[in-house]
Amino acid sequence: MPITVTPLDAPLGAEISGVDVRNITSADAKAIFDAYIKHHVVLLRGPVVDDAELVEVGKCFGEIEKARFKSPLTTRDDIMVISNIREDGKLLGSLPDGEMAFHFDRVHQKKPCRGAALHAIEIPREGGDTCFANMTRAYETLPEATKRRLEGLTALNAFTYGSTQPGQKEDAEKGPHAHHPVVRTIPQTGKKALYVSRLMTDRVNGLSPAESRALIDELCGHIEQDKFIYQHKWQVGDIVVWDNRCTSHARTDFSDKERRLMKRVTISDDAAPTH
């Protein structure tokens, strides 16, 4: 059965069909990667796969990084478990409950990851959706005067591990942080993408605190409009892979009385962001 790439009825994303996610060929991998570059987010529906099979899916997009924290729900060091499941009151995964503001993964590091593949194993009846914002389209629709203002600007990005909202961060420069362009270029396409987020962008360098805050709020308000966002409602077995360089993502709220279990692999990048 040939691979079919069907664009989603959304500002970004495509569903891939005709692929056996438990047995991906080299031809499959190339077609999936090409769709990922074009559409920024790809969705593969299928059965729940084991951890080794999830890693093989992730390898279609690049090298796999080690997870920061090892969960007892996996035997592998390259699987990140995102879950609110507790055992004797102790969390077995990361980022357990509730809403999470828009962000880029690992943007607090000098070389952020290229992307990630997230797999749904247990999902709540409502909520816990993942939202993806198209940062190339968000940049392209900025006023020309704003684009000129952003040329050459960089920003400090920071993250306090486990935080899900901006107010939970510690002093930016006391924890992991990195400086990156406010607008970055995607190597494979040459397109420019906004590279700021409400959760992790702390300040724009070279501006006063008031100017910096106003610019970040202005850009985030622009980015978070519905016309740029795809909200994915999970089904068990889904694998969603996103390009972390040109999409930011967020999570909607859900009940802490219901279990949510997701497994993820993180895809490393071979270059730091550039203008």
Q: pTM surpassing 0.85?
A: yes
- Give the pLDDT mean for 140-156: 98
pLDDT tens, position by position, 45-69: 989 999 999 999 999 999 999 998 8
Q: Is the pLDDT of residue 202 over 60?
A: yes
Domain ranges for the chain: 4-267
What is the C-alpha separation between 124 and 120, in angstroms, rounded? 11
CATH class of 4-267: alpha beta
83 CB neighbour count, 10 Å cutoff: 22
Of 50-54, 92-96, 109-113, 135-139, give the lowest mean pLDDT range.
92-96
Secondary-structure percent of the chain, ordered helix, strand, coil, rounded to 5: 20, 30, 50
Spatial CB neighbours of 7, under 8 Å, sequence gap ≥ 6: 13, 14, 39
| Residue 267 DSSP symbol | E
Q: Cβ(223)–Cβ(142) under 8 Å?
A: no
Nearest to 120, CA basis, from 268, 266, 264 = 264
pLDDT tens, position by position, 205-227: 999 999 999 999 999 999 999 99
pLDDT confidence of residue 212: 98
SS3 38: helix
